[in-house]
Structure 1
Amino acid sequence: MEHTRDSGPVVTKAESGAPDPEGGPDTPASQLGEIGRQAGRGLRWSVLGNMVMKAGSFAMSLVMARLLVPAEFGIFAIALAASQFVIYINDAGIIAATVQWRGKLEEMAPTATVVAITSSTLLYAFFWVFAPYFAEMSGSESATGVIRVLTAVNLVYGLTAVRSAALLRRFEQDKLTKANLVGFLVTAPVTITLAANGAGAYSFAWGQLLGAVATGVLVVLYARVKVGFGLDRAMAKKLLVFGLPLCVTLGIEGLLLNVDSVIVGDALGAEQLGFYLLAFNISSWVPGLVGTAVRYVALPSFSRLAEQGGDSVSEGVQRAIPLLLSIVLPFGVLLGVLAPAVIGFLYIPRWEPAAEVLSFLSVLMVVRMMTALVVDILAAMGATKATMWLNLGWAVALIPSLILGAQMGGIRGAAIAHAVVALVVAVPLSVLTMRRAGVVLGPVVSALGRPVLGGVLCAAVTVTLVTVISDGIPFVHLAVAGGAGLLVYVLVVVPQAVLKQLGSRVTGLIPARSR
């Protein structure tokens, strides 16, 4: 997880528990509007920051794909799987507990800091010892040192967890964005320089670690939460009662996202894992850009809606889910259909085997983004046990499916297993947990009709044009088939009134003499 922060504590009436006796500007309706404005501002900053970060990461990946061979990517994938799993459980759920804390931040910060640092330190010590066994289990003993370096990133996250949560809580994503950008400006040159000098997979690990340190320093400076250490046992218990079930949930989520690297590496070796990792990274572009931004604001936003009571959460869900699906679905469709063209256009020929994996991981991409939103909504409602059962059910179905898929169909089989389990298991479980939490989902079903229809037509148009176009140049497929498919989707999904309004604005920008 990346970092976040703010300039000073702001305690609203909802946080302090004080009622508004006059029902004036702090009535539920006005509070709901204010939450929406704050969330919108935070989302804009998150999206902007992620756009810049993803553009930079994309450029760096193009360079690294030419400096490293697939086997070195595979070694890094093994280390990344260990690090990403740890990061989900690193702070014992303290970030989420801090974001939704109903009292004053200053009262719980010292205890929360001690709990987060203790948790991250113990986990790092465990993985330092466990690293050789994890590397051997994943099919590459040479990954041991890379694992030990990369998992040190989580020590930084533990030290800054409460400060990151303070920024999220106060919707100060602008400061978080700046801190992450500075971290990337450290990561990129370090990684590329080390790779150019033969450091192999270690180049990724050291670049990530030094970038995390730079980001962490800025997070502490921006948060302006007094650095203090203390342990109030009653408060620690309260934090852990909320945080540990969510920690288990996120740990299972980390398992869901990284167990495929272990299984593919063990069954097929580091080179095939390198192809798989490249495809998985491409399928993560949209979740990294849009999904991360949404998660920065979803938990604090729905936490505030949950404080309002009534139907506030249900109304928020009925708006958020169709909107998010409308945004991510065309990217999933186009990425799945045009996977060979994407790989062919962006990378050198030796990476072509990644295309058959990408076609199926695009399905997983869409489901991942929707289920991540569901987890954040449930966590904001305090239903952390429900999130745990959601991810646990998914994991129980996924692990044997991945093993069978990899053995029968190689990296393509593993990707198919991922996509099938996501659709058949994860989606129904998400609906069930939301309904059991009391969220009214009826209006969501009808609102999804237009995006789904648009996705089907987008796929049909794109596939037809790819088949018709005889020119095998990847850019032509992306521009012509992809452009036509996206246009069809927009015409079906975006309301005509919105399209007319946009058309009027564009027309208004054209000088009168040229019309």
Structure 2
Amino acid sequence: MTTIGQSAGRGLRWGLIGNLITRAGSFSMGLILARLLSETDFGVFAVAMAATAFVMTVKDLGIMAAVVQWRGKLEDVTPTATLLSFISAIILYGVFWVGAPYYAAAAGAPEATGVVRLLTAIILVEAFTAIRSAAMLRRFEQDKLTTAIAIGFVANAAVAISLAKAGAGAYSFAWGQVAAAVVTGIIVFFWARLPGRIAFDRPIAIKLITFGIPSAAGVGLESVLLNAGYIVVGATMGPKWLGYFLLAFNVSSWVPGLIGNAIRNVAIPGFSRLAEQTTEILSDGVRRAVPLLYTAILPFAVIMATLAHPLIDFLYGDKWGQSAGVLRWLAVVMVIRMLVALTYDILTAQGATKATVWMNLGHAVILLPALVVGAQLDGIRGAAIGQAAASMVAALPLAVFFLRRAGVDLRGILPALARPSAAALLATAAGFAIERVMTGPSLLVLCTAGGGSMLVYALVVVPALRKKEIS
């Protein structure tokens, strides 16, 4: 009999493989587009992406998450869940179609109106596939989702690069994303093996909405917090500087996109099954997951923070050098962002969706003024510093508070984080020292200083991991 851990492990492996393929492809496509498009094009797209990120998280009122953790037969819930998903997506798209000009103007890029309307149309495609994707996640069928997403990405790259060469500007991004959504959606629709029936069952609808609305509010706020920097920078400094900020943010999102998305796809169903047993079993799973995640992502943060300038210069060229100062601080945000995202998944798995709302509201109270003040004092770098500060003083403490309030026993986690933290500090010092004395091409600096810092990190961390495995 396959255990929850085995199913989740298989799903995680497939999620990592899929994310590795698509992220490698996105990285390559980003290099090409950064040379074909201007900083302003990137800024306009950033405004549209912020809107899309929000509507994609709340498009179905949290129904998808409710289906993943549904305590009962999947066949009982999918007809009603599908209908609710349709209705919410259509209403939400209508709201954004009407509000696009006002939103774009507030973000400092009125020319983004058409791009916002096009890109947010993705939710109409997702309305057909959201519940089917939830069913596949619930069954840990990440291999099929991975394949569908990879095929969709091929369509994205073909459309986006072709249009960028033809001079379509920011619309090249948007049409590529729409093409990917359509191709992936068609595949998922047939592979999910669910009947196409739509119905309305009032008791089931009430249960779905009761769980889903707080979940959607929480994840919607999470999206707002994640993309608030775009709006503040765009409104304060305009689309060109927003383009620099977007590039740095995209680089800082490589690891959350590669590792974080794969973890999220199995975290909610996995922790949901643990929560069905006992709180102690769930707590044990959390105590194992957090140190592993922290240890895995710190080396990437060290490289981004230490070698931001040669990294940006080598990958994107001199014209994007302003992004390096932003990336150093967004590396800190990246680490906390992934830990907080794991917290959100744990709370959602427990059904504590209201806690995620309060957690994100508390973060927002600190983040928004920090972004505004930072941008006013030091431009795009100041905005990144404000985002990092808010993450440390608000997001992380609130995550710990609400986990403990939900009954998760966190004792033993903090000592487990001490060694990788010390290793990261030593690795950062080594990387800075090597970079200061080196001259030559950016690639040489990256390989030498990056290799040295990673060697230091491994020498400190690996012996402890081996000792833990033996014990």
Match of 2:149? 180
- After TM superposition, give the deviation of residue 498 of structure 1 in Å: 3.8
User: Which of 455, 459, 465 is equivalent to 1:487?
Assistant: 455
Contact 2:279/2:408 (<8 A) preserved: no
Structure 2 counterpart of 1:335, from 296, 304, 320: 304
Q: How far does the alpha carbon of each residue in 1:439-486 deviate from its partner, in whole angstroms, 9 at most, with x for none?
A: 1101111111111111111111111111122x1421122111111111
On the 8 A contact 2:60/2:84 being kept in 1, the answer is: yes
CA change 1:500–1:159 in 2 (3 A) is: closer
Measure, in 1, the Cα distance between the counterparts of 2:283 and 2:203.
32
CA 1:146–1:340: 2 relative to 1, 3 Å: same
In the alignment, is residue 430 of structure 1 matched against residue 399 of structure 2?
Answer: yes
Look up the match of 1:163: 132
CA shift for structure 1 position 154: 1.3
Residues in 2 aligned to 1:124 and 1:497: alpha-carbon distance in whole angstroms: 49
| Residues 412-491 of structure 1 aligned to structure 2 (within 5 Å) | 412-469=381-438, 471-491=439-459
Distance 1:329 1:496, change over 3 A: closer
Aligned length: 469
1:281 pairs, out of 250, 259, 265, with: 250
What CA deviation, in whole Å up to 9, does each residue of 1:199-225 have, x standing for no partner? 000010011001100000111111001
SS in 2 for 1:495: helix
Question: Aligned equivalents of 1:465 and 1:391: distance in 2?
Answer: 39
Cα deviations by residue, 1:378-434 (Å, 9 ceiling, x for unpaired): 100111111111111111111111111111111010000001110111111111011
Structure 1 residue ranges, 4+ long, deviating more than 2 angstroms after superposition: 495-501
Letter paired with 1:478: L
Does the alignment pair 1:358 with 2:344? no
- Residue of structure 2 equivalent to 1:406: 375
Alignment gaps of 5+ in structure 2: none
Q: 1:310/1:423 Cα in 2 relative to 1: closer, same or farther (>3 Å)?
A: closer
Please state whether the residue corresponding to 1:308 is helix, strand or coil: coil
Output the CA distance in 1 between the equivalents of 2:251 and 2:151: 23
Q: CA deviation at 1:499?
A: 9.6
Structure 2 contact 156–177 (Cα < 8 Å) conserved: yes
Provide the residue aligned with 1:130 in structure 2. Answer: 99
Give the equivalent residue in structure 1 for 2:354.
385
Distance 2:126 2:117 in 1: 15
Residue aligning to 1:511: none
1:97-120 Cα offsets, whole Å, 9 max, x none, are: 001001101001000001111111
2: CA distance, partners of 1:309 / 1:112:
28
Query: What SS is found at the alignment partner of 1:442?
Result: coil
Q: 8 Å contact 2:325–2:381 — kept in the other structure?
A: yes
Determine the structure 2 residue equivalent to 1:104: 73
Deviation of 1:260 after TM superposition, in Å, equals: 1.2
Deviation at 1:310, TM superposition (A): 4.2
Q: Structure 1 stretches of 5 or more lacking a match? A: 1-24, 26-32, 502-515
- What's the secondary structure of 2:197's corresponding residue? coil
The code of the aligned residue for 1:211 comes to: A
Q: Please name the residue that 1:153 is paired with.
A: 122
Correspondence for 1:512: none
CA distance in 2: counterparts of 1:235 and 1:194, whole angstroms: 45
Aligned mates of 2:293, 2:407 — CA distance in 1: 21
Distance 1:393 1:159 in 2: 34
Q: Compute the displacement of 1:227 (Å).
A: 1.0
Give me the CA root mean square deviation.
1.4
Deviation of 1:239 after TM superposition, in Å, equals 0.5
Aligned residue for 1:303, secondary structure, equals helix
**2:274–2:281 CA contact under 8 A, matched in 1:** yes
Q: Aligned to 1:297, which of 248, 251, 266?
A: 266
CA contact (8 A) 2:128 2:189 kept: no
Query: Residue 442 of structure 2 aligns to which amino acid in structure 1?
Result: P
How do 1:113-128 residues align onto structure 2 when only pairs under 5 Å count? 113-128=82-97
1:367 to 299, 316, 336: 336
Q: 1:500 to 1:249 in 2, by over 3 A?
A: closer
Correspondence for 2:20 = 51
Q: Decide which of 195, 200, 204 is 2:173's aligned counterpart.
A: 204
Could you tell me which residue of structure 1 aligns to residue 216 of structure 2? 247
Give secondary structure in 2 for the equivalent of 1:133: helix
Other structure's SS at 1:425 match: helix
SS for the counterpart of 2:419 is helix
Measured in 1, the distance between the counterparts of 2:256 and 2:414 equals: 23
Residues 1:266 and 2:235 aligned together:
yes
Partner of 2:125, secondary structure, is helix
Alpha-carbon distance change, 208 to 399 in structure 1, aligned in 2, over 3 angstroms = same
- Please give the per-residue CA displacement for 1:51-83, whole angstroms capped at 9, x wherever unaligned: 010110000001101110100111111111111
Q: Is contact 2:214-2:357 (8 Å) kept?
A: yes
Q: Which amino acid aligns with 1:467?
A: R
SS of 2:200's equivalent?
coil
Shift of the alpha carbon at 1:282?
0.4
More divergent stretch after superposition (483-492 vs 192-201)? 483-492
CA offsets, 1:186-211, max 9 Å, x none? 00010000010010000100110011
1:343 and 1:460 mapped to 2: Cα distance? 20
Q: Which of 159, 163, 169 is the aligned partner of 1:194?
A: 163
Inter-partner Cα distance in structure 1 for 2:282 and 2:440? 49
SS in 1 for 2:407: coil
Could you tell me how far 1:348 is from its partner in structure 2? Answer: 1.8
Q: Distance in 1 between matches of 2:58 and 2:463?
A: 42
Partner amino acid, structure 2, of 1:444: I
Q: 1:198 to 1:37 in 2, by over 3 A?
A: same
1: CA distance, partners of 2:464 / 2:233: 46
Task: Give the partner amino acid of 1:485.
Answer: S
What SS does the corresponding residue of 1:231 show, helix, strand or coil? coil
How far residue 493 of structure 1 moved from its aligned partner, in angstroms, is: 1.2
- Give the 3 Å change call, closer, same or farther, for CA 497–375 of structure 1 in structure 2: closer
What's the CA shift for 1:500? 13
TM-score (normalizing by structure 2): 0.98
Find the aligned partners of 1:316 and 1:355 in 2 and give their Cα distance.
Answer: 37
SS in 2 for 1:129: helix
- Residues 404 and 497 (structure 1), Cα distance of their counterparts in 2 relative to 1, 3 Å cut: closer
**Separation (CA, whole Å) in 1 of partners of 2:317 and 2:293:** 33
Q: Tell me how far 1:363 sits from its aligned partner.
A: 0.5
- Cα contact 2:279–2:407 (8 A) shared by 1: no
8 Å CA contact retained: 2:107, 2:231 = yes
